[in-house]
C-alpha cells in the first residue's frame, strides 16, 4: 500500500517537479523547513527535511491551534522510495523525527520530493500539502 501511495504522490507532482528542478539547488546535504497549508482552525505542519549522501532526516511538527489533525511529512523518490513521519499528539511543541540510512533507497542523483501536509486521522488522506523537490548530490 505504501508503494502505491508513493507512486500516486510522485505522479501528481511530476509536472511540478520539472519546474521545481529548474530552481532547486542540489546539495550534498540539502536541509530545509517547509510549512503545510493551514487547517480551518489554524493548525499546520512545520516539516523539516535533510537529504544527502545515503541518509535522510525527516520531521513532522504539529503547530498552530489545536485542530484534531496530525502533521505529516513525506519524502517520495523517483526510484519508488517512500518515507513518512506523523506527529499525532497535538499542537504541543513536540515533533516526531525519523532517520533513514539506506544506500539502496537514497543515493547520488536520486530525485526526491518532500511533502508537508496535515491529515485527519491515521488512515486519512494528506491535504493542504506544500512540496519542495531536489536531487541528492
CATH number for the domain spanning 38: value is: 2.60.40
Which pLDDT score, from 0 to 100, does residue 24 have? Answer: 32
| Domain housing 89 | 2-135
Stretches where the chain sits below pLDDT 50 are 1-27
Secondary structure letter of residue 39 according to DSSP = P
Model-level pTM? 0.79
Q: Can you tell me the distance from the alpha carbon of 63 to that of 43, in angstroms, rounded to the nearest whole number? A: 6
Domain count, the chain: 1
Amino acid at each position: 500500500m505504501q508503494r502505491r501511495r508513493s507512486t500516486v504522490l510522485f505522479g501528481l507532482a511530476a509536472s511540478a517537479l520539472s519546474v521545481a528542478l529548474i530552481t532547486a539547488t542540489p546539495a550534498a546535504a540539502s536541509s530545509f523547513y517547509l510549512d503545510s497549508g493551514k487547517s480551518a482552525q489554524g493548525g499546520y505542519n512545520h516539516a523539516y527535511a535533510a537529504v544527502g549522501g545515503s541518509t535522510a532526516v525527516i520531521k513532522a511538527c504539529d503547530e498552530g491551534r489545536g485542530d484534531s489533525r496530525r502533521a505529516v511529512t513525506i519524502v517520495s523518490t523517483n526510484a519508488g522510495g517512500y518515507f513518512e513521519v506523523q506527529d499525532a499528539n497535538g499542537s504541543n511543541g513536540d515533533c516526531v523525527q525519523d532517520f533513514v540510512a539506506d544506500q539502496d533507497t537514497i543515493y547520488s542523483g536520486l530525485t526526491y520530493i518532500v511533502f508537508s501536509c496535515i491529515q485527519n486521522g491515521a488512515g486519512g488522506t494528506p491535504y493542504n500539502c506544500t512540496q519542495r523537490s531536489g536531487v541528492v548530490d
